[in-house]
């Protein structure tokens, strides 16, 4: 019977969950439960997979610490795919330490990759880099090489290093071909499309055009004055004026930058920045105050000059003013950006990734749902949100070596 366990583990390595289930579907011993859990995860039944893996971890004896740790790693990957970002990272760290202690470096590296991917989703780029750097040097199997390169590509994309991202994705594609696992190859292909998809819009002199990631990277090194709607800042080369905590000032800066070199009337500024429908003296007084604050903030980079109709932006030591805008102007663009990965997110996971309150995220999701831009399934804590249409089954749920190998 142990030959069936070995055959099932090899089937999972090859990305054949149905082949694995054919061998262990009717068995309830600990190794079979673990293999069935991983197979169900690859097929997309994450709730069943989680239940099977927990049963397997309980069924393994006290001397089978490595097997229990592998179950924890598999459950952590399920949590990652189902966007359960509150899953205890200390549990994964303990499992990784156990695997390293017993010489299972391949699965220990896999645990490290899962931790790095979670950190990347939360926007903790430096921590993700440190996690990768802290992994023991070890010749990884092709499936694990794919995951590592995808993490490196994700870090490079977030740091606006398009060439590094392309190189990492090329290495991931080669490793995916070696692994011969269609799900991994599809994941690499999906990640590669990010580099050829508009990442932003460039608005200048009343015109706009889409920008690829490489063009956004070039823009960061240009001499132009850039109003950055992604980071809510105004910058030129190394000088950055953050306005994330001053939304009115940033709104004024963006309106003036989009109109440059023309001016903007006071009525337009009030209606857009203050959302005032009727112009009165109180609005005019507030506009004068806010424009004065904006002048002070932008002094190293630009002047805000009064005109007969309103105000105009005048850059210093450069001839260009550019607005770097999101691909789509949407009130809840950051929520949609996270949901665009096609995976089901909980509102609590979105709140963690965005660094805001769950209630704020829930209000945003409700508005997006009313506009038919997102959809949900499940109830209570099991409710998940995603962008339509519903994507296929999750990818990458495969431990790099057979779960039961010691």
Q: Cis link prior to 261 (omega < 30° from 0)?
A: yes
| DSSP sequence for 212-269 | -HHHHHHHHTSSSEEEETTTTEEEETTEEEE-TT-HHHHHHHHHHHHHTTS-EEHHHH
SS3 content of the chain, % helix, strand, coil (to 5): 55, 10, 30
Tokens, residue 366: 């409700």
| Separation in Å, CA 365 to CA 348, 350, 357, 361 | 12, 10, 13, 6
d(CA 80, CA 84): 6
pLDDT tens profile 157-198: 888 898 999 999 999 999 999 988 888 888 888 888 888 888
3-state secondary structure of 329: coil
Phi, psi dihedral angles at 68 (to 5 degrees): -65, -40
Mean of pLDDT over the chain: 85
| DSSP sequence for 189-209 | HHHHHGGGS--EEEEETTEEE
Backbone conformation region of residue 101, classed left if phi is above 0, alpha if psi is from -120 to 50, else beta: alpha
pLDDT tens profile 246-302: 989 999 999 999 999 999 998 888 888 887 666 667 888 888 999 999 999 999 999
Count of C-beta atoms within a 10 Å radius of residue 207: 7
The predicted structure's pLDDT at residue 276: 62
pLDDT tens profile 366-393: 888 888 888 887 777 778 887 764 333 3
Phi, psi dihedral angles at 400 (to 5 degrees): -70, -20
pLDDT tens profile 73-93: 999 998 888 888 888 889 999
pLDDT tens profile 186-232: 888 888 888 888 888 899 988 889 988 888 888 877 889 999 988 88
* Burial profile 330-363: b = 16 or more Cβ within 10 angstroms, e = fewer: eebebbbbbbeeebbbbbbbbbbbbeeeeeebbe
Query: Domains of the chain by range and CATH?
Result: 1-196 (1.25.40.10), 201-325 (1.10.10.10), 332-386 (1.10.10.10)
d(CA 258, CA 373): 27
Banded pLDDT at 333 (limits 50, 70, 90):
confident
Contact between 356 and 123 (Cβ < 8 Å): no
The predicted structure's pLDDT at residue 173: 93
* Burial profile 265-288: b = 16 or more Cβ within 10 angstroms, e = fewer: ebbebbbebbebeeeeeebeeebe
Low-confidence winner among 100-109, 141-150, 345-354 (lowest mean pLDDT): 345-354
List the strands of the sheet with 225-228, edge to edge.
207-211, 200-204, 321-325, 225-228, 233-236, 239-242
The mean pLDDT value for 316-332 works out to 84
On whether the pTM is more than 0.85, the answer is no
d(CA 245, CA 260): 24
């Amino acid at each position: 019977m142990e030959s069936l366990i070995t055959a099932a583990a090899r089937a999972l390595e090859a990305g054949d969950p149905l082949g694995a289930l054919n061998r262990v579907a009717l068995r309830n011993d600990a190794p079979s439960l673990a293999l069935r859990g991983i197979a169900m995860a690859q097929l997309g039944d994450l709730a069943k997979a989680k239940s099977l893996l927990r049963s397997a971890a309980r069924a393994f004896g006290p001397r089978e610490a490595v097997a229990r740790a592998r179950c924890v790693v598999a459950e952590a990957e399920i949590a990652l795919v189902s966007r359960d970002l509150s899953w205890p990272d200390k549990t994964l760290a303990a499992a990784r330490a156990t695997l390293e202690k017993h010489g299972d470096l391949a699965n220990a590296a896999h645990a490290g990759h899962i931790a790095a991917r979670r950190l990347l989703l939360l926007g903790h780029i430096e921590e993700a880099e440190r996690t990768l750097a802290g992994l023991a040097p070890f010749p990884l199997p092709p499936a694990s090489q794919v995951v590592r390169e995808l993490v490196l590509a994700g870090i490079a994309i977030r740091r606006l290093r398009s060439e590094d991202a392309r190189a990492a994705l090329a290495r991931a594609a080669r490793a995916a071909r070696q692994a011969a696992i269609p799900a991994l190859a599809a994941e690499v292909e999906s990640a590669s499309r990010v580099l050829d998809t508009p990442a932003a819009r460039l608005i200048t002199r009343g015109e706009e055009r889409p920008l690829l990631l490489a063009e956004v990277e070039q823009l960061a090194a240009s001499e132009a004055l850039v109003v950055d709607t992604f980071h809510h800042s105004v910058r030129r080369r190394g000088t950055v004026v953050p306005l994330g905590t001053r939304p009115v000032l940033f709104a004024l800066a963006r309106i003036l930058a989009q109109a440059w070199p023309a001016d903007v009337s006071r009525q337009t500024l009030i209606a857009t920045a203050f959302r005032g429908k009727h112009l009165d003296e109180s609005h005019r007084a507030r506009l004068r105050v806010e424009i004065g604050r904006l002048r002070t903030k932008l002094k190293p980079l630009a002047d805000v000059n009064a005109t007969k109709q309103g105000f105009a932006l005048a850059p210093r030591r450069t001839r260009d003013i550019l607005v770097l805008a999101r691909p789509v102007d949407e009130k809840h663009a950051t929520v949609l950006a996270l949901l665009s990965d096609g995976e089901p997110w909980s509102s609590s996971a979105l709140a963690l990734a965005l660094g805001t309150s769950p209630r704020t995220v829930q209000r945003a999701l409700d508005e997006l749902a009313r506009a038919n831009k997102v959809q949900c399934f499940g109830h209570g804590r099991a409710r998940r949100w995603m962008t339509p249409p519903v994507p296929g089954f999750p990818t990458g749920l495969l431990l790099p070596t057979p779960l039961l190998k010691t």
